[in-house]
């Protein structure tokens, strides 16, 4: 059985969620109880942006999502949706975030001073070496993942204070793996950003994430399509989104990212096959022509997810709600985003950074409410 690992507690306020029975959603007065529907989103790096299109089309069909489980990029998309992001907001993130820079742990070149751009050209890699009494220390991954982690902290501010993922607008689980034992770790509480970052710690690409003394890596190593986790959430119906290319259709990888992607697929091939058999509805977006780091085609990936969902319209329509029931479902899921008032802005620049120059780049001011996307852009420019 997968085990849950406690994550660090964040600052706090709690939002209560109405009780759900194990496999039926509690009915409103005058309504019959209906099957509980859970979505399982697989990993796949950039390919996981297709999940946004899936969620958009499910809403267009008025198919309710009562809980969600995700691995790697599936955890990031699923976690943000569970925290209350709408498909339209997720599409905005796909279009506006510089995902490639986040993954590379490097600022956008447009925001670099000329000297830094020259340095980028002079050095082929950006690996950092450490020196200790034991000698030179090599990095434990191509990138540390600090920028991705910081961005996730901003994006999950609307879930601040919620350390029980059953209390999110949608109950949610993220899947990671213990780097030492290869044990499946189901993250069901703690800081949401930490859970998402751990679930996407692709071995060799990102540094592992330490949680309570355990090093966690990408859940795709052990459970890349978390249908079983969705069942544990009490789902009567599981909609699985599988981003894996059939073995016979795989091409020779042409990059490090391609090698990593196929290696993870090979490790999880049997588990994914079992998960597909256990799912009630399986959606397979046609994304085989792209790879793990092809974030520059994010909008096309979203559309491929939408197309795959429309292709299963007949099966999905059996789960659709009528207009009145759908409005009530959205009201429960789309809670008002909590406002986080800014009481003070403290700027402490490092050596060589004039405080006045930094202050000019930051438009976030006391007296207003924190805008995570605005602050993210300001930090990017710095």
Q: pLDDT tens digits, residue range 272-329? A: 999 999 999 999 999 999 988 899 999 999 999 999 999 999 999 999 999 999 999 9
- Please list the active-site residues: 72, 218
pLDDT > 70 fraction of the chain, expressed in percent and rounded: 70
Please check whether residues 349 and 205 belong to one and the same domain.
no
Does 346 fall in a domain?
Answer: yes
Please check whether residues 34 and 173 belong to one and the same domain.
yes
Does 279 fall in a domain?
Answer: yes
We report the CATH number of the domain holding residue 193 as: 3.40.1090.10
Does 164 fall in a domain?
Answer: yes
Residue 212 reports pLDDT greater than 90 = no
Does 56 fall in a domain?
Answer: yes
Please check whether residues 216 and 363 belong to one and the same domain.
no
Please check whether residues 305 and 205 belong to one and the same domain.
yes
Of 1 and 82, the one with more pLDDT:
82
Give me the pLDDT at residue 8, please. 28
Give me the pLDDT at residue 116, please. 43
Does 350 fall in a domain?
Answer: yes
Indicate the range of 58-72, 125-139, 193-207, 216-230 predicted with least confidence: 125-139
Please check whether residues 265 and 161 belong to one and the same domain.
yes
Instruction: Report the alpha-carbon distance of residue 260 to residue 266 in Å, rounded.
Output: 10
Mean pLDDT of the chain: 79
- Total domain count for the chain? 2
Please check whether residues 257 and 344 belong to one and the same domain.
no
Please check whether residues 220 and 295 belong to one and the same domain.
yes
Full domain range(s) for residue 360: 340-382
């Amino acid at each position: 059985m997968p085990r849950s690992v406690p994550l660090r507690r964040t600052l706090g306020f709690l939002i209560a969620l109405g009780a759900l029975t194990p496999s039926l959603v509690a009915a409103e007065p005058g309504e019959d109880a209906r099957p509980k529907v859970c979505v399982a989103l697989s990993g796949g790096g950039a390919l996981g942006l297709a999940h946004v299109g899936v969620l958009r089309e499910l809403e267009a069909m008025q198919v309710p999502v009562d809980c969600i489980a995700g691995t790697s990029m599936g955890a990031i998309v699923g976690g943000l949706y569970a925290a209350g992001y709408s498909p339209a907001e997720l599409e905005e993130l796909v279009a506006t975030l510089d995902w490639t820079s986040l993954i590379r742990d490097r600022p956008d070149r447009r925001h670099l001073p000329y000297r830094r751009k020259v340095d980028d050209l002079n050095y082929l890699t950006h690996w950092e070496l450490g020196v200790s009494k034991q000698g030179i220390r090599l990095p434990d991954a191509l990138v540390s993942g600090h920028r991705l982690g910081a961005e996730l902290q901003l994006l999950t501010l609307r879930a601040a204070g919620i350390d029980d993922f059953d209390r999110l607008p949608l109950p949610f689980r993220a899947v990671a793996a213990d780097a030492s034992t290869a044990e499946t770790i189901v993250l069901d509480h703690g800081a949401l950003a930490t859970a998402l970052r751990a679930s996407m710690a692709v071995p060799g690409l990102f540094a592992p994430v330490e949680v309570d003394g355990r090093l966690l890596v990408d859940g795709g190593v052990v459970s890349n399509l978390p249908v079983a986790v969705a069942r544990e959430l009490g789902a009567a119906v599981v909609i699985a989104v599988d981003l894996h290319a059939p073995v016979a259709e795989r091409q020779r990888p042409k990059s490090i990212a391609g090698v990593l992607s196929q290696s993870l697929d090979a490790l999880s091939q049997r588990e994914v096959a079992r998960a597909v058999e256990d799912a009630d509805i399986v959606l397979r977006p046609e994304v085989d022509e792209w790879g793990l780091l092809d974030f520059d085609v994010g909008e096309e990936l979203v559309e491929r997810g939408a197309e795959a969902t429309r292709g299963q319209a007949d099966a999905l329509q059996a789960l659709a709600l009528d207009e009145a029931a759908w409005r009530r479902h959205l009201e429960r899921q789309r809670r008002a985003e909590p406002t986080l008032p800014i009481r003070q802005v403290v700027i402490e620049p490092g050596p060589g950074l004039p405080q006045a120059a930094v202050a000019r780049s930051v438009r976030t001011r006391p007296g207003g409410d924190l805008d995570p996307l605005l602050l993210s852009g300001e930090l990017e420019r710095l």
